[in-house]
Amino acid sequence: MSTLALTIWIVTLVIVVVVIVPLALALLSRALRNARAIEGYLEDMLEAGVKIVGHTKAIPALDDTLATAAAMAPVATAIEEKTGIVAGMLAKRAEEDPS
């Protein structure tokens, strides 16, 4: 091997050891730090998701509530009619009563 080839080889190895390896280690360290941060964010998201599920557990019960409300509509109408009749009777009595 000639002196020029040996010099080029040594310079290349020095560049790899001094520049490329530290740069690769820095980039890998940065990627690992970001991956750990993402893992923390995912844990927070999971915790929030579990809480959301807990808060929305009662939504299926709304179907029962709506069905009950639909069944109560005719009863409410009948009550309203009867209280109207009673109100009319009381108004008539108030007009007839001279006291």
Q: Say yes or no: 49 and 27 in one domain.
A: yes
Q: Say yes or no: 13 and 53 in one domain.
A: yes
Residue-wise pLDDT for 73-84, tens only, equals 888 888 988 898
What pLDDT shows up at residue 98? Answer: 63
What pLDDT shows up at residue 88? Answer: 87
Residue-wise pLDDT for 32-51, tens only, equals 999 999 999 999 999 999 99
Position 94 pLDDT exceeds 70 = yes
Q: Say yes or no: 53 and 16 in one domain.
A: yes
Per-residue burial over 17-56, b if 16 or more Cβ lie within 10 Å, else e, is eeeeeeeeeeeeeeeeeeeeeeeeeeeeeeeeeeeeeeee
Q: Say yes or no: 53 and 69 in one domain.
A: no
Q: Say yes or no: 81 and 42 in one domain.
A: no
Position 99 pLDDT exceeds 70 = no
Find all residues with CB under 8 Å of 1, minimum gap 6, and list them: 9
Q: Say yes or no: 47 and 88 in one domain.
A: no
Q: Say yes or no: 14 and 42 in one domain.
A: yes
